[in-house]
Amino acid sequence: MASAAALSLLAVLGAGDEAARSELFGRLRPSVVVLEATSASGDRLAHGTGFVVRADGLVATNHHVIDGFTTMRAVFADGRKVPVTGVVFSEPKNDLAVVKLDQAGLTPLPLGRSDGLTEGSTIFVLGNPLGLDFTFSQGVVSAVRARGLPADSRLELKDADRQPLLQLDVNSDFGGSGSPVVDAEGRVVGVLVSKMGRSLFAVPVDTLSGLLEARPLDEPARPLKQVPWWNLVISGVVLGLTLLLLKGRLRLSRGPPKAQRRYTGYEE
By annotation, the residues acting in catalysis are 64, 95, 177
The amino acid sitting at 224 is L
Number of Cα atoms under 13 Å in the Cβ half of residue 66 = 34
> 51 burial class (0-12, 13-18, 19+ CB within 10 angstroms)?
buried
Task: Write the CB contacts of 178 (distance below 8 Å, at least 6 apart in sequence).
Answer: 35, 48, 49, 50, 51, 60, 61, 62, 65, 127, 191, 192, 193
Q: Using alpha carbons, list the distances in angstroms from residue 236 to 68, 213, 230, 233, 248.
A: 21, 40, 10, 5, 18
Handedness of CA 11, 25, 207, 45 (dihedral sign): positive
**Cβ 192 vs Cβ 160: under 8 Å:** no
**Cβ 97 vs Cβ 108: under 8 Å:** no
Cα gap 78→84, rounded to integer Å: 17
Cα gap 103→81, rounded to integer Å: 10
